[in-house]
């Protein structure tokens, strides 16, 4: 939502020069998914590191299955799509004249 608000003028310019609603929707959805997937990767790496540290220092055996890593990655991508769709749709539907007036 913040990205859409900060880039309102850019959206207006893109729409004024002929960008379709689908183009703008795709732009913001890709951005939201990329951010959430990057966060998912960082989270997976942090979880693997924490698991290794727990195994080492607490002398516990830990097992991280590939299925759980895949599930975490898919969940982070799904969160990006779910929470990125509304702002992306709002940006795509914005009137270019109003968007160009926005400061």
pLDDT tens column, 76-96: 888 888 888 888 788 778 777
Asked if 45 and 56 count as a contact pair (C-beta separation under 8 A), the reply is no
Q: Maximum CA pair distance of the chain?
A: 64
Put simply, whether the predicted model's pTM sits higher than 0.95 gets the answer no
For residues 102 and 5, give the distance between their C-alpha atoms in angstroms, rounded to a whole number: 9
Q: Could you report the per-residue pLDDT of 3-33, keeping only the tens digit for each?
A: 777 777 888 888 888 888 888 888 888 888 8
């Amino acid at each position: 939502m913040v990205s859409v608000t900060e880039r309102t003028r850019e959206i207006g310019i893109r729409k004024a020069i002929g960008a379709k609603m689908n183009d703008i929707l795709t732009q913001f959805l890709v951005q939201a998914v990329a951010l959430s997937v990057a966060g998912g990767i960082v989270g997976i790496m942090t979880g693997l590191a924490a698991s290794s540290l727990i195994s080492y220092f607490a002398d516990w055996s830990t097992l991280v299955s590939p299925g759980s890593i895949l599930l975490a990655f898919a969940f982070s991508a799904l969160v990006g799509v779910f929470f990125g769709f509304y702002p992306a749709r709002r940006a795509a539907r914005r009137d270019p004249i109003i968007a160009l007036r926005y400061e």
